[in-house]
A and B are shown apart, each in its own frame.
Chain A
Amino acid sequence: MKNTISFRVADFIKNYPPFNEIKLKDLEELSQEIKIIYKVRDAVIFDEDEKAHEYFYMVHKGAVALSRNADNEIVDLCDEGDIFGLRPLMANEDYKIGAKAYEESILYAIPISNFKVFTKSREGVSNFLMESFASNTRNPYSVGRKGKLFQESPEISVTPPTNDLLDLQSVNYSKKLVSCAPDATIKAVATNMTKKKVGAMLVLKDKLPSGIITDKDLRNKIATGKFPITARAKDIMSSPVITYPTKMTLAQAQMAMMKSGISHLCLTQDGTPNTEAIGIISKHDIMLELGNNPAVLMKAINRARKLKKIKRIRHSIMSLLKGYLAQNIPLTLISKIITELNDACIKRVINISLNKIDSTPPVKFAWLALGSQGRSEQLLHTDQDNALIFEDVPEDELGNTKKYFIELSKRVTKGLHEIGYEYCPAEMMASNPEWCLSLTEWKERTQHWITNPGKDEVLLSSIFFDYNHTYGNQDLVQQLTAHILSTTQKYPIFFVHLASGALQNPSPSGFFRSFLVEEDGAHKDFFDLKRRALMPLVEGARVLVLSNQVKSINNTAERFEKLAEIEPNNQELFLACSYATKALLKFRTKQGLLHNDSGRFISLDTLSKEEKIKLKRTFKTIKELQELLKIRFKVANLVG
């Protein structure tokens, strides 16, 4: 029965190979037999050596990791629209590679029996499947192998592209050509290059590449005065253009650039300058493909126009992080770099959202990161906690102004969700009217928290007071900070409450210095690293820093370092706290990367003896810090 859902499925799959080769009518027919499967993160779709299913799969939402048991190395990550689990289509044997949901995912299971007719009748379909299967890359058209799928049954072994073979990967080139006519003025060329943020522009004559202008040409030929600013594109372009065919590996592209000493390659239909230009590869594209360099990633983020692109870059950021941790680079440095990159992603999402709204912001505003992102301690993907401040407006405009910023925030939080930040379960997000306020409203709110320190108020301030400016007007943020500091100064009782809040987290170790694990819930028998070990340090640092009137240091480790400077008599303890924070954060990050989660809950039996000892050492520091808080802020009096 064709119905709303089968049409909806057909409408999705028609956009992706191999289904794009099949008539929509046939797809609508096929879609009726498809199953829609939901998988939670880490759920197994099939295991290595599992008996073949009657279906192969397409990722509709989320991502799926293909990996082998032997080394647990991810062979391929399938994104929305990618197909996998093709073995049963090819050969009557068990899976040789396992598939697991990398994120929570929705899959389409396509029945092989219904699909087989297309593999026989359409060459494009069988070629694509063949290539997908053989190479396990997402873009198998570029591999340049041809073969028939069913006439012969070739011996195919899955050879996953490992890092050593990266050079043989096909190059991803930008298909959106930035080009101009030979008669274009230099000013127009330069303006367009600036607007599109590219370093080179192709000069096209009747769609054929006749020359190329790069930043270098503008510098060498215009800025030097060699040619007047009134010159035309054809006067300064480098010509002829060095062209290559689109099917090119990374290594080939690199070699070509080195050989001719150029930074851009023009790709044409048949590789000669006599056919239409199709794309352009820059050195930057290649660097990005080779990955892991923060500067390249940063550039890529700032150029990204689509959220999907940012999501992919974030995968690269994660592998960069993995590499840093493996190389044992100091955590302070790692977290600086990763935080910069994460911040850039958020800024980019805000920019994209601003562009999507028709009108410009009515007044100045600032986007604040709260919680761990605000403290620059967010290395893994966690929840998004954020808030927005906007400039004060006359009362009669407040409603509309707020409406605008809530609308903006909704887009931003949705965008952040799309690139991998979960929504805050407590709705602590700028899209919530409670967290999207004018400067005066924020001042009133924070003042209320400080002067009426009940349980909720202390909780709210403890989350909010680690805010960090990510986007927009700095001045608004500084005004708020100054206001908070001066208010806390007038109400010292607030610190007592904040300190007692900091002491409420259960202590990490039991009476016999054993780990205290969770007693119930989904994480029964796991150790809650965040709540029991990190939070006491984070909260302790916050209250001490606030009471010392230290401005604009948010990072917990840095806060302790500052405190060590301010209070030489407690230097030893504070430095130990700083060290403990870094050690725990690194530990959490490693655990998170290992299990593809936030790293918060740790299963103790997976830890080595050495790791356990290291952890316990930090507990001693935590205990000492808590003692200091108790005495300094006379918390005992309050509780007792």
Chain B
Amino acid sequence: MISFFKKRKKNYPDFWVQYASKFETKLPTELQKVRFVVLDTETTGFDYDNDRILSIGALSLQNNTIAINQSFEVFLDQHFYHAKNIEIHGIMQEENKERITEIEALMFFLEFIEDSILVAHHAGFDIKMINEALKRHGMPNLKNKVLDTSILYKRTLIKSPLLIPQEQYTLDQLAEKFDISTKDRHTALGDAYITAIAFIKIVEKLKSTKNFSVKKLWR
């Protein structure tokens, strides 16, 4: 009877098992010990079913420090390239980047992120794209906690009748508010860097609010 309810143990690849095992330990409660992975993906478009990831950029952020040698940037070899997308993201098809397969990219990515908190701007999109890719290769969704800077930012705004918050804030708006250079915009790692600096500044602002705790960040 019990075994009936138990989830059927699937045969996941070793790297997934390895990744999943990282979640057995609890996350630290002190903010400076928490490792955040700030990421961005460039894709062929916005359709979860038909579009594909072209590159993933991610960097590791801990105690307000980004170690450049702990950053992650891969370019994927995807069969169908939408010509129209190339303009938006500036990723040229013929560009001389070493490209790897989707499954390799996922493997490296899971190894890189471990159980860190993932941070992205409009995170829902990036995470969904990655989850779709995982699904294609027979794996479940990412297990990490996720934070979205487009939502977090709104929490820093003062409550004033004079300020009507927008529904959405773009990464460009955040860069403007926080005075971050938009060089390398529209490359995955470049956008991840902008997101990371914005994220640090947002958290610093939130930290000075009433009863701040690490847990409240992802509530």
Q: Indicate whether A465 reaches chain B with its CB closer than 8 angstroms.
A: no
Alpha-carbon distance A11/B66, docked complex (angstroms) = 17
If over half of A's interface residues share one DSSP class (helix, strand or loop), that class is named, otherwise mixed; here it is mixed
Inter-chain contacts of A168 with B (CB < 8 A): none
Complex interface: chain A residues within 8 A of B201 (CB): 38, 104
Residues of B within 8 Å of A36, CB to CB, are 65-68
7 closest residue pairs by CB, A with B: A522-B208, A4-B189, A36-B66, A38-B64, A456-B161, A3-B73, A425-B158
Per-residue CB contact flags for chain A residues 444-487 toward chain B (1 = under 8 Å, else 0) read: 00000000000110011000000000000000000000000000
Instruction: Encode contact with A along B149-192: 1 for CB under 8 Å, 0 otherwise.
Output: 00000000110111100000000000011010001100101100
B27 to chain A, nearest CB (A): 21
Instruction: State A520–B208 Cα separation when bound (angstroms).
Output: 10
Whether A456 and B162, one on each chain, are in contact in the complex, defined by CB atoms closer than 8 angstroms, is yes
Residue on A nearest B66 in the bound complex, by CB? A36
Closest to A35 in B: B67
Residue of B nearest to A455 (CB): B161
- In the assembled complex, the Cα of A34 lies from the Cα of B204 at a distance in Å of 23
Q: B209: CB under 8 A from chain A? A: yes
A382 smallest CB distance to B (angstroms) = 15
What residues on A are CB-neighbors of B64 within 8 Å?
A: 37-39
Q: Mark A34-53, 1 if CB is under 8 A from B, else 0.
A: 11111110000000000000
Q: Does B3 contact A (CB under 8 A)?
A: no
Q: Chain A residues near B177: list those with CB within 8 A.
A: 423
Asked whether B25 is an interface residue with its Cβ less than 8 Å from the other chain, the reply is: no
- Least distance between B58 CB and chain A CB atoms (Å): 10
* B78 in the interface (beta carbon within 8 A): no
Between A and B, 18 residue pairs with Cβ closer than 8 Å are A1-B73, A3-B73, A4-B190, A4-B193, A5-B190, A35-B65, A35-B68, A37-B65, A38-B204, A40-B204, A109-B65, A414-B176, A425-B160, A426-B158, A427-B163, A459-B162, A520-B210, A521-B209
Q: Tell me which residues across on chain B come within 8 A of A38, comparing CB atoms.
A: 64-65, 197, 200-201, 204
Q: What's the Cα separation between A522 and B200 when bound, in Å?
A: 18
Q: Provide the residues of chain B in CB contact with A37, threshold 8 Å.
A: 64-66
Closest to A106 in B: B197
Q: A427-B162, A522-B209 are in contact. Are A3 and B71 (CB under 8 A)?
A: yes
Contact of B179 among A417, A456, A522 (CB under 8 A): A417
Taking residues whose C-beta sits less than 8 angstroms from the other chain, chain A's interface range is: 35 or more
Select from chain A the residue with minimum beta-carbon distance to B162: A426
Say if the beta carbon of A6 comes within 8 Å of chain B. Answer: yes
- Chain B residue nearest in CB terms to A418: B179
Residues of chain B with a CB closer than 8 A to A35's CB: 65-68
Given A4-B184, A4-B190, A426-B158, decide whether A521 and B210 contact each other with a Cβ distance below 8 A. Answer: yes
A366 to B89, CA, bound (A): 41
Query: Is A170 among interface residues, defined by CB-CB distance under 8 A?
Result: no
Is there an interface contact between B183 and A8, defined as CB atoms closer than 8 Å? yes
Given A40-B204, A521-B208, A521-B210, does the pair A5, B161 have CB atoms closer than 8 Å? no
Q: Kindly state the separation between the CA atoms of A427 and B200 in the bound complex, as whole angstroms.
A: 21
Contacting pair B158 A33 (CB below 8 A): no
| Closest beta carbon of chain B to A202's beta carbon, Å | 37
User: Given A8-B183, A37-B64, A106-B197: A1 and B69 within 8 A (CB)?
Assistant: yes
In angstroms, how far is the closest chain B Cβ from the Cβ of A428? 7
- List residues of chain A with CB within 8 A of the CB of B66: 5, 35-37
Question: For the complex, is A625 an interface residue (Cβ under 8 Å from B)?
Answer: no
CB-CB under 8 A from A459, the residues of chain B are 161-162
Q: Does A32 reach chain B (CB closer than 8 Å)? A: yes
* Distance of A231 Cα from B25 Cα, bound (Å): 87
In the assembled complex, A376 has its CB within 8 A of some CB on chain B: no
**B154 to nearest A CB, angstroms?**
13
Residue of A nearest to B184 (CB): A4
Residues of A within 8 A of B197 (CB): 38, 106
Q: Is the CB of A4 within 8 A of B187?
A: yes
User: Shortest beta-carbon distance, B66 to chain A, in Å?
Assistant: 4
Least Cβ–Cβ distance between B111 and chain A, in angstroms: 14
B157→A425 contact, CB < 8 A: yes
Bound form: Cα–Cα A404–B61 in Å: 40
Cα–Cα distance between A567 and B23 once the two chains are bound (Å):
74
Interchain CB contact under 8 A, B204 and A33: no
CA distance A556 to B115 in the complex (A): 57
CB distance from A42 to the nearest CB of B (A): 12
Give the distance in Å from the alpha carbon of A520 to the alpha carbon of B160 in the complex: 18
What A residues does B187 contact at CB under 8 A? 4
Q: B193 contacts which chain A residues (CB < 8 A)?
A: 4-5, 8
B68 touches A6 (CB 8 A): yes
Cα distance A423–B176 in the bound complex, in angstroms: 11
Per the 8 Å Cβ criterion, residues 30-85 of A in contact with B are 31-40, 61
**Which residue in chain B gives the minimum CB-CB distance to A3?**
B73
**Chain A residues with CB under 8 A of B67:** 35-36
> Is the Cβ of B65 less than 8 Å from the Cβ of A33?
no
How far apart sit A428 and B209, CA to CA, in the bound complex (Å)?
Answer: 22
Q: Which of A4, A40, A426, A455 contacts B163 (CB 8 A)?
A: A426
Interchain CA distance A32-B200 in the complex, whole Å = 21
A32 and B158 contact, CB distance less than 8 A? no
A9 in the interface, Cβ–Cβ < 8 Å? yes
Report Cα–Cα, A427/B68, bound state, in Å: 35
CB A38 to nearest CB in B, in angstroms, measures 4
Residue of A nearest to B188 (CB): A4
B163 touches A3 (CB 8 A): no
Within 8 A of B (CB), among A424-445: 425-428
